[in-house]
Structure 1
């Protein structure tokens, strides 16, 4: 996108918010970079330079605009619709892998050399993995400076900086303000947020440790910030239809891990340094996010996983325009545009739940999952609701006695094989997964047919083109619309919907009266 200069200039002149996150505009005369929809008067075209990432702008010596705050743009939809090396690397960087494991850890997860990863990121984004991670740390630091009353030292280490000096230098370079000046610009907080911040316990300095399973070692011991509750606004590209998105998450919620309460979907999060509880509620122009973390170093990861679960970085205009080319599908799109694909915060958890839900009702699947959670999940404290546990890890589930599972013997075999391979690392379903390879490995497992694999591909791996031609709900909707209803014929018709067939499934499912399609009261 950023290489199409004429298109970028038109987007900037029209202040088109659809392109926020697709590219960034650097202004040569001011030394500032902006999002395309920045409300200030558009600069002359000859003074504009376009970059694919905020990190590339910072590398080129530009600082962030104080008016449009380009660091708060939705993420580029490119990284969630592709499965190539660059897209997988960007998903891992957003998940904080560079901060926890370094560039060698990033390259190791991708199966490439460090040099090759750096070369491809530089070629497409104008910045390497360290610069991209640094830009992300700067964004997290700004969020903590503006949203909390933590000391600047705690903010620095929670955001992932190795020292306070590096934190101060980076903030000044990126935002042209010191951290103290950033905080001074924030309007007075509302009463609820102020009360929550006043209630924070005093910080207790402890050695900074790495999350389990990592080998990177910090250069110096650093304090771990006290737990905190943050109130955030998660941006998205309009339009967004929340009905099937939140309806699906609420209708399939596992008791103890998820719930719908007071107009918000709430769930527990297992994170690299600790755990969290998040509440997400749809608003007209953002998603209201209330996030409580046991360790603030998990802030970036928690936000990234919540955005991924709600598919907030999607480009709904591009998706809907493509689906409207089918005259039988167009009325569904026009009736409720902006449907998203409900995804997950934990790919392994979703794969387990997909197996538990094979050939049973939604209620039965929730019951099976709730029993496993109560018996093998890690307990958490939720004074504000009914959340009690984290979903069990594959390692915990691999130790379950198969005879204790209330399911047919063949499904027990499917379940135990899946959790064993997840636990010992033979099967990887993380954000770094190659979608084609993951599909092939899942299909090789006993009890995994095309429907189960495609559901996991759609909702766990995030493949926007995953399709379910054998799904009864999809076939019933297709028949009612006059589309072919046999799997082979429907697949042939759906070729015109590519690469957005997962979104077509959401529109087809929406013709049913199942609770997954309605925002809970």
Structure 2
């Protein structure tokens, strides 16, 4: 969209928040970049240029606006819903793969050469994978500076910087303030009380959000010991690259409050990304609702519940196992084989087993039918063997085909996993109760299913 100059100008002049994350406005006279919805008076058109990502703006030498904080805007729905190379790459970068494994590791996960990945990401985002990862490190650092009392050295390490100097230089370059000035700026304002051992962040989204329906569905599915619904808050354990964590998610005015207790603060970016993925917060509800409301069957449902989201998963393998064995067996599995955690604030006791633990489980101990046991064994064996990818950057077409090849999985279960674990917005897990999906609902059939299922 950033290439449509006139449309971008109209969005900026109307301060249209629907376009936050779709593009960024860089002001050549001040060297500042903003969201389209920035509250300050818009610059003269001749001083505007538009870029596809915050990383591109930072790489071009623009610093983030102190008013609208464009670095913390909702993620682009374009990358959220795209299944091509760049969409998959962006989701992996957001999950911290470049910080942990470098660009070669990113390319290896995608099955492409490093040069191919760099070329495609640069062409689409205006910045390469390293620059995109650097922008995310800067945002993680800002979050820790503003929401914790950690020493700056610890923050630099937790945010993924290799040295204090690079941390200081990046924060100053991106935000126009030193780390100390950023913390002092928040202290002078209405700073939320810092709870020791936790980090609280706001997860922005595009309005509308059918929060009541989204959280009600997740509350109805809670897995005892792993998840808890309490006082309007969804709490659950997380298995993250460097350790475990506990998250509490609660809808608030204009955002979702996300309180994280992490064993290793280096997991902050991955944890936030997985919570956004779980709640489908990077969707474009205006586009989805406009498409579905054109259908006479769906129109009244969309009007009744605008901004419906499709809940996903913080762990695709966990979601798939739960879909295959059912809630009762999944609860027994978690309690018997999940790693224990300490939760001073509630009833969370386990992290769902990882793949290495799942392959050791005899399905006969779960009390499931023989057919279900065979499906479980085939599923976890395929994941452990590397022939099935259920991560956020998996290839939807290849994932579906591999799932269909496994014994014991019917088409409804395959599509449920494609919708919730792989994040395909066009998945259709209907089993006949909701009729046949209409071709005119593409590419948003998962959202249509949500409306029909109620």
TM-score calculated relative to the size of structure 1:
0.86
SS of 1:276 mapped into structure 2: strand
Give how far 1:403 is off.
Answer: 2.6
Look up the match of 2:356.
395
What is the correspondence of 1:67-78 to structure 2 with a 5 Å cutoff?
A: 67-78=67-78
Q: Distance between the aligned counterparts of 2:403 and 2:344, measured in 1?
A: 39
Alignment pair present for 1:169 and 2:113: no
Look up the match of 2:204.
235
* Bigger CA radius of gyration: 1
User: Residue 332 of structure 2 contacts residue 366 of structure 2 at CA under 8 Å; is this kept in 1?
Assistant: no
Give how far 1:132 is off.
Answer: 0.3
Q: Distance between the aligned counterparts of 2:245 and 2:293, measured in 1?
A: 39
Look up the match of 1:246.
215
Counterpart pick for 2:224 among 224, 236, 255: 255
Counterpart pick for 2:445 among 471, 491, 501: 501
Alignment pair present for 1:355 and 2:324: yes
Judging changes above 3 Å, is the alpha-carbon distance between structure 1 residues 421 and 341 closer, same or farther for their aligned structure 2 residues?
same
User: Residue 265 of structure 1 contacts residue 281 of structure 1 at CA under 8 Å; is this kept in 2?
Assistant: yes
Counterpart pick for 2:314 among 337, 341, 345: 345
Give how far 1:188 is off.
Answer: 5.3
User: Residue 451 of structure 1 contacts residue 471 of structure 1 at CA under 8 Å; is this kept in 2?
Assistant: no
Look up the match of 2:382.
421
User: Residue 414 of structure 2 contacts residue 429 of structure 2 at CA under 8 Å; is this kept in 1?
Assistant: no
What is the correspondence of 1:443-454 to structure 2 with a 5 Å cutoff?
A: 443-454=404-415
SS of 1:421 mapped into structure 2: helix
User: Residue 276 of structure 1 contacts residue 293 of structure 1 at CA under 8 Å; is this kept in 2?
Assistant: yes
SS of 2:268 mapped into structure 1: helix
SS of 1:74 mapped into structure 2: coil
Counterpart pick for 1:404 among 365, 379, 384: 365
Q: After TM superposition, what 4+ stretches of structure 1 lie above 3 angstroms from structure 2? A: 187-192
Give how far 1:274 is off.
Answer: 0.6
SS of 1:343 mapped into structure 2: coil
Q: Distance between the aligned counterparts of 1:333 and 1:191, measured in 2?
A: 38
Q: Distance between the aligned counterparts of 2:187 and 2:291, measured in 1?
A: 42
Q: Deviations over 1:369-399 (max 9, x none)?
A: 1111111000000010000000011221211
What is the correspondence of 1:24-173 to structure 2 with a 5 Å cutoff?
A: 24-173=24-173
**Gap regions ≥5 residues in structure 2:** none
Give how far 1:65 is off.
Answer: 0.5
What is the correspondence of 1:215-364 to structure 2 with a 5 Å cutoff?
A: 228-357=197-326
**Gap regions ≥5 residues in structure 1:** 198-227, 358-364, 476-484, 511-521
User: Residue 310 of structure 2 contacts residue 420 of structure 2 at CA under 8 Å; is this kept in 1?
Assistant: yes
SS of 2:367 mapped into structure 1: coil
Q: Deviations over 1:398-425 (max 9, x none)?
A: 1112332211111110011111121222
| Larger deviation, residues 23-32 vs 178-187 | 178-187
Give how far 1:190 is off.
Answer: 7.3
Counterpart pick for 1:470 among 421, 431, 435: 431
Q: Distance between the aligned counterparts of 1:310 and 1:188, measured in 2?
A: 32
Q: Deviations over 1:95-145 (max 9, x none)?
A: 000000000000000000000000001111110000000000001111111
C-alpha RMSD over aligned residues: 1.2
Look up the match of 1:372.
333
Give how far 1:471 is off.
Answer: 4.7
Q: Distance between the aligned counterparts of 1:396 and 1:318, measured in 2?
A: 41
SS of 1:278 mapped into structure 2: strand
Give how far 1:191 is off.
Answer: 9.1
| Larger deviation, residues 282-291 vs 113-122 | 282-291
Give how far 1:13 is off.
Answer: 0.3
TM-score calculated relative to the size of structure 2:
0.98
